[in-house]
Amino acid sequence: MGRRLAGPLLLGLGLLGPGLLGAPVRADEALVTAQGANVLAIVDLEAGTVAAQVPVDGAPAGIAVSPDRRTAFVTRPEGPSLATIDLATRTVTGTLALPGGPLGIAVNPKSGAVYVADWYGSRIFVVSPDGSRLDTEIQVGASPSGIAVTPDGATILVANREGNSVSVVDVATAREIQKIPVGEHPFGITLDPEGARAYTANVTSNDVSVIDIAGRYELGRVTTGERPYVVALAGPRGFVTDQYSGTVTVFNLKTLTNVAAIEVGDHPEGIAASRDGRTLTVANWGSNTLSVIDAETLKVTGEIKVPDGPRAFGDFLR
């Protein structure tokens, strides 16, 4: 599990939409939860520098962003609580106490509801869109970690690390409707833009399970490096952080075959694709850096120093 409760983190992510026609295109920002420093680091990816640091104590781990991209929600496993951050003012505007071990997090793209996984309990919390109120909880599998929501906002998928399964949750009834068996200790879960397939990074079986969401079954697996944690998608390829190998495994989304292994920093965890799908950003927990990868050439094109213990667990680019 790593040095802390929130040690190995995952990533479920998608591509962000382009800016409005005629509006200036701003540089991508990386919103990096840095556990050792107890901050949310806001990184200007174009400049390659940390633009701001927002203090967030409690070993900040998971992160998700509201549908309008103006608000960030950060889990604090050692709080335990959820912090709400205004990204315009770069300040914490609220804290909601949550029981257990809040870790994985996702936001419903339609309703804005916030879903938080309790690592210590077989449940996820449903929090109001403004992050101020715990509305209900939903029973899932053992040690839920990564969470993803289908584009229509109707279904939640939860990676159950100790249950070796993915829970399928119906949003309308707030109930688990099925568990899908996957590899050993699934942590990160990622959906494709169409909501047709899900990908789980299986920590101890060193592979990725590919799930047919409509059929609710595992349709294949891809071998990775040692201790995979998160999957990102860009163009025709999938990219997986391999924590113990210090690499990113690249695979073909159509054939589910390996393409390459890219060397990055020490203990890579969070990974996300840029808005245009041309680059991947990787958070290297052990080396306190972000690696930037060209999605076409599969080369590391840059490295950015960030505060101690970067996790970037969840939706962290905007």
Model pLDDT, residue 16: 31
Q: How far is CA 318 from the centre of its chain?
A: 13
Model pLDDT, residue 12: 37
DSSP labels for the chain? --SSTT-S--B---PPPPPPTTSPPPPPEEEEEETTTTEEEEEETTTTEEEEEEE--S---EEEE-TTS-EEEEEETTTTEEEEEETTTTEEEEEEE-SS-EEEEEE-TTT--EEEEETTTTEEEEE-TTS--EEEEEE-SSSEEEEEE-TTS-EEEEEETTTTEEEEEETTTTEEEEEEE-SSSEEEEEE-TTSSEEEEEETTTTEEEEEETTTTEEEEEEE-SSSEEEEEEETTEEEEEETTTTEEEEEETTT--EEEEEE-SSSEEEEEE-TTSSEEEEEETTTTEEEEEETTT--EEEEEE-SSSB--EE--B-
Tokens for 218?
A: 């595992």
In a structure prediction context, what are the per-residue pLDDT tens digits for the chain, which is 318 residues long?
Answer: 333 343 333 333 333 333 333 333 345 899 999 999 999 999 999 999 999 999 999 999 999 999 999 999 999 999 999 999 999 999 999 999 999 999 999 999 999 999 999 999 999 999 999 999 999 999 999 999 999 999 999 999 999 999 999 999 999 999 999 999 999 999 999 999 999 999 999 999 999 999 999 999 999 999 999 999 999 999 999 999 999 999 999 999 999 999 999 999 999 999 999 989 999 999 999 999 999 999 999 999 999 999 999 999 999 999
Model pLDDT, residue 27: 52
Model pLDDT, residue 150: 98
Model pLDDT, residue 22: 35
What pTM did the predictor assign? 0.92
